[in-house]
Structure 1
């Protein structure tokens, strides 16, 4: 079989570059006006970024941006300066929710992070190093990562990107080519090049819903670190499932419900209480506050190559 050669003329390359540029510019036009600078009021100073998700001034940012402040100062891209109240924060996912005292104008939509694929365009908007409303672009490098939050807990369902992030970007949006927010920028590895992280929008959406309902996030805790991985069709068929991805346990913390319930590193979590698990965000959602102290059935494909059902009793992990 011969090798097919495809030659691009300078005109073709120019069209590709123009299309790429137009895609990024369109995403920035859609989301950029919703991005704001967030400054703490009182206590230790500090600032970061945030973005409005509703017309009445609900703003998502990072927990470490607001820290223990009750009130923050908000400056929008249009020059409006107002204050806002911290409605709630979740150190376990580094997400916080603020309500501005006045409408901040534009707002952005939290998209479905499950639709992301490695190689998709990623656009970061924020206020790095005091340079307000800066835009950087790159690609989605990896999905379903885990990283440590400031309180030592593992944040699951983390997006890795090579879009440049710096201090001050924290809390700003990671935007898809369609102009939807798919992540909340949260961390950069100092000394590394082109490695930065964002909490997936589905996780952020869950945290926002919990804070609006309860003022805090209630969740069941089983004590695992895990990754979203591809699921072999044969395993899905044998389990009576249709999803193409699942969750692989990468590490089990000692003396936790996972270790007591017999889960092992390398096991695939396929379903929880009969609901399919296609990614880390499904685990977070299905282990909500109602699961605490209750018998919870896990369908797994074990490292020994068998479909098994395990009963775990999640413990409380409230923020």
Structure 2
């Protein structure tokens, strides 16, 4: 049974996370020696040319033959309580003896047994089993799972394993080839192909407002069980982690960019968790068209500038934004001197900072220009 208790449908968007069950770097302190540290000489390399083609000249076959051995199946399970208060004395099952199971995908990025998957594939699991393509099965240890970016790192006790090559998701362009490998609906080692439909999809656009990721959108077919599996480019490099689909659409899937996933995985390996800076606002993209529509409304409480920017719709109490004097209705236009043309631009500016850093913001408030400096706090773990 695939994705039994791990699949979640969120709100009216029909978004499904396909497995069990926001984002900047921690302060860059010198990391202590770590036996799980990854040899990233290959991971840090620039994007490579396409793999040598097989005899039939198919680059998809070449990519799958090179990377497919490093794609794994993850079976996760947990015990849950039941409603029998007598622990089975009167014929019912004993309390806490029911086991819920789900499955997803993952990929090995270090030959000494480190693999990436989605956090929602392994969150809450009491037991994680990892099955390789060649049939070998290992018990997995979850080193950390970050729900804000939906990235997790799992360790298995094995050496000399096949690994994927990590690409550069910052260089993606809509229209490029996209290849998904995973285990949808229990069908192991399934390959689908499509294109990169869009990049930088904000969490609000995707329908997961509690995440802080600029998602990759793809029309490569992904289904429950694909979650945590790799999305490859034409060169056979991993460019994303397949994460969610729109259940109310066709050919609308989303992946966490590999640059984001790699950064979070590094933090998890070094510290056991990821740390994220908090600004403390809810925002929407502002365009001249949106502003004009608002301003034509005689009941509108405020007049909006007919520009592009990030419109603040709520300021969280006791947040860094509140302490800096940011108000509902403010329009953020620059961050540290860089133009802000949308809510996702402001999110990206925050993600580039570390907890405790200061962020200089220019904003418009009732047509008046203002400048504020915000000292970013840390998003609580819960």
Under a length normalisation based on structure 2, what TM-score does the superposition of the two structures give? 0.63
- Structure number with greater CO (CA < 8 Å, separation at least 6) is 2
Q: Determine which structure has more spread, i.e. the larger CA radius of gyration.
A: 2
- Counterparts of 1:107 and 1:132 in 2: how far apart (Å)? 18
The equivalent of 2:58 in structure 1 is: 22
The equivalent of 2:315 in structure 1 is: 254
1:39 pairs with 2:39: no
1:180 pairs with 2:237: yes
Cα distance per residue 1:22-47 (max 9 Å; x no partner)? 12222212221110000114333111
Superposition map of 1:145-160 within 5 A: 145-147=201-203, 153-160=210-217
- Counterparts of 1:30 and 1:263 in 2: how far apart (Å)? 51
Cα distance per residue 1:101-124 (max 9 Å; x no partner)? 223721112221101001111111
- Distance change (3 Å), C-alpha of 1:302 and 1:109: farther
- Distance change (3 Å), C-alpha of 1:65 and 1:267: same
- Distance change (3 Å), C-alpha of 1:317 and 1:158: same
1:196 pairs with 2:253: yes
Superposition map of 1:66-77 within 5 A: 66-77=122-133
The equivalent of 1:129 in structure 2 is: 185
Indicate if the aligned counterparts of 1:63 and 1:94 stay in contact, CA closer than 8 A: yes
1:286 pairs with 2:352: yes
Cα distance per residue 1:160-184 (max 9 Å; x no partner)? 1101110000000011111111111
Q: CA deviation at 1:297?
A: 2.5
Unmatched 5+ residue regions in structure 1? 1-17, 228-246
1:140 pairs with 2:140: no
Unmatched 5+ residue regions in structure 2? 1-53, 80-99, 286-307, 339-343
- Distance change (3 Å), C-alpha of 1:178 and 1:297: same
- Distance change (3 Å), C-alpha of 1:307 and 1:65: same
- Distance change (3 Å), C-alpha of 1:251 and 1:206: farther
User: How large is the Cα RMSD of the aligned pairs?
Assistant: 3.5
- Counterparts of 2:179 and 2:243 in 1: how far apart (Å)? 14
The equivalent of 1:316 in structure 2 is: 378
1:298 pairs with 2:360: yes
Q: CA deviation at 1:299?
A: 5.6
The equivalent of 2:174 in structure 1 is: 118
1:54 pairs with 2:110: yes
- Larger % of helix: which? 1
Indicate if the aligned counterparts of 1:271 and 1:299 stay in contact, CA closer than 8 A: yes
Q: Which has the larger displacement, 248-257 or 52-61? A: 248-257
- Counterparts of 1:68 and 1:103 in 2: how far apart (Å)? 27
Cα distance per residue 1:194-247 (max 9 Å; x no partner)? 1000011111011101111111111111135688xxxxxxxxxxxxxxxxxxx9
Indicate if the aligned counterparts of 1:156 and 1:225 stay in contact, CA closer than 8 A: no
Superposition map of 1:234-245 within 5 A: none
Under a length normalisation based on structure 1, what TM-score does the superposition of the two structures give? 0.74
- Distance change (3 Å), C-alpha of 1:211 and 1:173: same
- Distance change (3 Å), C-alpha of 1:215 and 1:23: same
- Counterparts of 2:368 and 2:169 in 1: how far apart (Å)? 30
Cα distance per residue 1:39-90 (max 9 Å; x no partner)? 1143331110000110101110011110212541001111111111000000
Secondary structure of 1:45's counterpart equals: strand
